[in-house]
Amino acid sequence: MGRLEGKIAVVTGGNSGIGLATAQRFVAEGAYVFITGRRQEALHKAVAAIGSQVTAVQGDVANLDDLDRLFATVRAEKGRVDVLFANAGLGSLAPLGAITEAQFELVFGVNVRGTLFTVQKGLPLMEAGGIILTGSTTGSMGSPAFSVYSATKAAIRNFARSWALDLKATGIRVNVLSPGATATPGLLDSLAKSGQQDRLISGLIGQTPLGRMGRPEETAAVALFLASDESSFMTGSEVFVDGGMAQI
């Protein structure tokens, strides 16, 4: 029997990277998974990669109507949520002095507003279980040209602390999963747009004691732990999967 046998999971940003790897792992462990993403073509490819026990709902977590449609679909098809992985997020490189209002609104809209309302709108479908929020090492460290993204991840860390108290009598646990430098399409595309991809990747690897970037599957393994009963005495916690980047 899988560690999530019979569970119903929602994974936002499940069309690629850590979200897709996690959805695949959840299904392999017995869960039925609903995934979201903004690009329908990417969702089709993700469903094909997962293979079974999955429903894709196209949408943007920063759009509250899209979130309503997501959870209406979950309610109609399965009636509940046991695991909610609020994973969707994005970022862009811009040093202080070059940050635009549009960049700020986009990154805070998806990472902070999107996370808040994903959880709040999913909560009525949960009677117990686990909420996982995607944080980052950047929420605990200074990051040149990445301050807006870093600030959103610091906010997510405090969401977990506060929501663990809000939900302490419900049987619902809230924890943060914080990856380090991980070879996801989102990160690699962001670095490529800077025109300095090779230099930036070398810098990230140089900051990581294990001497390499992480793989999405490595973070998915820890997401499985936080989603399962094996983490039943954890709430309000932050778990790093960062090769030691933020630990030393």
Cα 83 to Cα 8: distance, rounded to the nearest angstrom:
6
Helix (H, G, I), strand (E, B) or coil at 204: helix
**Residue corresponding to tokens 């309610």:** 75
Helix 114-122 × helix 64-77 angle, to 10°: 30
* Nearest of 84, 83, 36 to residue 62 by alpha carbon: 36
Q: Residue 42 corresponds to which amino acid?
A: A
**DSSP track, 154-186:** HHHHHHHHHHHHHTTTTTEEEEEEEE-SB--HH
Q: Is 46 helix (H, G, I), strand (E, B) or coil?
A: helix
Which residues are marked as active site? 149
Write the single-letter amino acid at 247. Answer: Q
CA separation for the pair 73, 67 (Å, rounded): 10
Q: β-strands 172-179, 129-134: how paired? A: parallel
